[in-house]
Amino acid sequence: MDDMSEYKEMYAVEAAEHLQSMNEALLNLEKDPENSETINVMFRAAHTLKGMSATMGYTNIKELTHEMENLMDSVRKNEMKLDSAAIDILFEGLDTLEKMAENPENCSQYDISGLIKKIILLSKREAAAETTGQVKTPETTAADVTNNSPKPDNIGQEKVEDGCTILDITVTLHESCVLKSARSTVVMRNLSELGEIIETHPSIKEIEDEKFDREFKIVVSTKEDVAKLEKAIMKISEIAKVEIKPHEGIQAKAKVEEKSCAPDSNKTAIKSVQSVRVSIERLDSLMNLVGELIINKIRLMQLATVHKLDVLEETLASLNRLTNELQEEIMASRMVPIEQIFNRFPRMVRDIAKKEEKEVELILEGGDIELDRTVLDEIGDPLVHILRNCVDHGIESPEVRKQAGKNPKGTIRLIARREKNHVVIEATDDGKGMDPQKFRETAVKKGIVTQEEAAKLSDNEAINLSFMPGFSTADKVTDVSGRGVGMDVVRTKIGSMGGSIKLESTKGAGTKIILKLPLTVAIIHSLMVKVGNDVYAVPIANVVRDLAIKKDQIKTIKGEEVILIRGEVLPIVRLRKLFGIDSNGSEDLLVVVVERGGGNIGLVVDQVIGQQEVILKNLENRILKGVKGFSGATILGDGNVALILDVVTLL
Amino acid sequence: MPGKILLVDDAAFMRMMLKKILAPSGNEVLEAVDGSDGVAKYKEHKPNLVFLDIVMPNVDGIECLKQIIAFDSNAKVVMCSSIGQQTVVNDAIKIGARDFIIKPFDAAKVLETVSKNIS
């Protein structure tokens, strides 16, 4: 066979799929160990992976999958039951397979002998780990004997004719033949088309059980000549030698059936490939180019308006439509279903729960929701963190839950859904929830807020303190349960993508974490505002609403400016002041209300320009990197640069 | 002599391996992704030869074979087997499969199987 390298990528993709379906099957089997469909899924995945690995010469993967397949085969034949020990070993096998599949060429570095022994011990097979071992069940063999008359069903219905010769045919199989019994069956079937098999040595049953070396004898009654029989047998693969001699005396009855198989000669062109793989870098670069194109388009449109060039405007309208379509197409090609990262969570949750001796059920919904590849890559870690916290600190031990009158088994729901231009991911647990009072105390202790500030905070604001940097250093084993560990990192990450995060919790009843994510990070749907002479972009994901107020509506509570809307106290921040621009002294103020970590805040701006999609240019410049409050910049149609506000780090 | 060959296997990898072996000698190679697709493609294209995987989701190789044979008793079906599937292969041959090959596929053997079965 020619160079295998071109198959490697395909192998990797399909192997990953099979490993994933094995993972899902095992998790389901843990709950429902006798589900025959799931058992079959597991069996098939192991089997297919074995075949692929054998083809690629990945011996260790082949051998391990082979043993796992045998085990599953015993299970599906009801020869053994899957208990939790068996599931654990299968999981161990799966883990090893995953490790080996990462770099399959080096899979021989892994010592799998111990694991294989464990699996074999499980399936109670005496035979040592030999790859040619065949699993044969008494039932199938018995069934074979009964329906195994030497005369196949498809002949013998017609009247037979006299005048046949009886021949002894001795067939020797090629030494490379692996399935000797199956090969013999082919021989006998082909012979039965030319005559009638009278008897065989050894018996048919023994041949089926492979109780012969390489040679077997068939006595056949036929009216065909020797040469034709010989040719017919030699046409079969893996036949080393055929000897045909006349049998003693007797005449027998036989029937001949010739089958004509004229090959179909009509040919059509071989179909071309339906899809191609493109690296994400290439898509990034395409996206970037489209971004530049859009900026230029906007610039042109502004020029056309300024110079009142009607003819140009018509052309630009169609250019506008085309660039929008182009942008949508590229964005669509970057979309991948969120289940790609959801898939690994059931296993992770199971493992953590098992380690902590908790019972947890993870329910996933909305796996088919699509997200930009880059966003997906970014939210993997934060979600891992959030789920780990749910199991670690949210869900109580079964005993505690029972005492609290809850189901001993905790439930975590991870739900993704689409909301306009965003994807919302909610992680809800029915654990012990958070105690806002403890959060206030810890925050004061950590010096994040003062005693007075803490008292001012609503319960919801208090638990959202866990997103504050510094809170995360809280001792993991305090009563606050370490919820804060790393949550500020999570918030920063989500914020930097133009998303938002908030916490809701009821003490004793559970916690809900809500992530709101943009569909893509490359293009940010923004509300454009003006402060002083500059334009800024506020990601729409953060914007709750905008409102116009009079200057005298502003009250001061403990030195901070707030306004009252619908009975709610809304702190406000004058961006002019924040950016060091002199106040314009206007009586009428425009406030953009943004959401940030559970609480809302009002940003006072000079002018709201409108909504626009802006192309994100990262602030990777050394001077600007690390500047808080801005997640990036964009180039406006007039060529000016607008900074994109990062509401989370702004204050 | 080249012919029209249908590959029925749920693993695209396996189909590609076989295709790479079969296509260069001028065979027209068709693909089906599972048993039910296999039956449908057989009925539609009436290939000269079928390479049929045994373990597949939905309709497995044996059921697919039965349906193909029921449709065309002259169908030439080669089972793609792994070591350890002897009884299933035996059953398949009794149902009407012409031949079988063992994974991992050996290019020479695959081509030999084709030339022996397409005549």
* CA-closest candidate to residue B92, choices B79, B105, B102, B75: B79
Asked if residue B108 lies in contact with residue A238, where contact means CB atoms within 8 angstroms, the answer is no
- Given the structure tokens 């305090």, which residue do they identify? A478
Asked if residue B51 lies in contact with residue B6, where contact means CB atoms within 8 angstroms, the answer is yes
Q: How does pLDDT run across A499-558, given as a tens digit for each residue?
A: 888 888 888 888 999 998 887 777 788 899 999 889 999 988 788 888 888 888 888 887
- Strand A543-550 to A534-539 pairing: unpaired
CATH number of A159-254: 3.30.70.1110
Asked if residue A233 lies in contact with residue A239, where contact means CB atoms within 8 angstroms, the answer is yes
A523-650 has which fold?
OB fold (Dihydrolipoamide Acetyltransferase, E2P) (2.40.50)
Phi, psi (deg, nearest 5) at residue A81: -110, 150
A5-135 has which fold?
Four Helix Bundle (Hemerythrin (Met), subunit A) (1.20.120)
The minimum CA-CA distance between A83 and chain B, rounded to whole Å, is 25
Residue A508 touches chain B, beta carbons under 8 Å: no
* CA-closest candidate to residue A225, choices A262, A195, A197: A195
**CB-CB: which of A132, A260, A264 is closest to B46?**
A264
A337-518 has which fold?
Heat Shock Protein 90 (3.30.565)
The chain B residue lying nearest A7, using CA atoms, is B13
Please tell me the predicted confidence (pLDDT) of residue A134.
42
Please tell me the predicted confidence (pLDDT) of residue A154.
37
For chain A, the maximum distance between any two Cα atoms, rounded to a whole number of angstroms, is 125
Buried b (16+ CB within 10 A) or exposed e, A388-420: bbbbbbbbbebeebeeeebeeebbbbbbbeeee
Which segments of chain B have a pLDDT < 50? Answer: none
Give the E-state strand segments of A403-452 in sequence order: 410-419, 422-429
CATH number of B4-117: 3.40.50.2300
Reported as type and span, the H/E element at residue A601 is strand A599-605
Yes or no, beta carbons of B55 and A44 under 8 Å apart: yes
Asked if residue A465 lies in contact with residue A471, where contact means CB atoms within 8 angstroms, the answer is yes
DSSP code for A617 = B
Indicate the angle between helix axes A5-31 and A345-355, nearest 10 degrees: 50
Helix, strand or coil, per DSSP, at residue A506: strand
Q: What share of chain A is helix, strand, coil (3-state, %, to 5)?
A: 45, 25, 30
Q: How does pLDDT run across A165-204, given as a tens digit for each residue?
A: 888 888 998 888 878 888 888 888 888 888 888 888 888 8
What pLDDT band is residue A275 in, cutting at 50, 70 and 90?
Answer: low
Is pTM beyond 0.80? Reply is: no
Buried b (16+ CB within 10 A) or exposed e, A596-618: bbbbbbbbbbbebbeebbbbbbe
Scan residues 56-85 of B and list those with Cβ closer than 8 Å to A.
56-57, 73-74, 76, 81-85
* Mean pLDDT value across residues A637-644: 82
Domain boundaries, chain B: 4-117
Radius of gyration of the CA atoms of chain B, in A: 12
Yes or no, beta carbons of B16 and A7 under 8 Å apart: yes
Radius of gyration of the CA atoms of chain A, in A: 36
**How far, in Å, CA of A19 to CA of A17, rounded?**
5
Residue A36 touches chain B, beta carbons under 8 Å: no
Scan residues 35-54 of B and list those with Cβ closer than 8 Å to A.
46-48
Residue A585 has pLDDT above 80, yes or no: no
Yes or no, beta carbons of A236 and B99 under 8 Å apart: yes
How many of the other CB atoms lie within 10 Å of CB of A435? 18
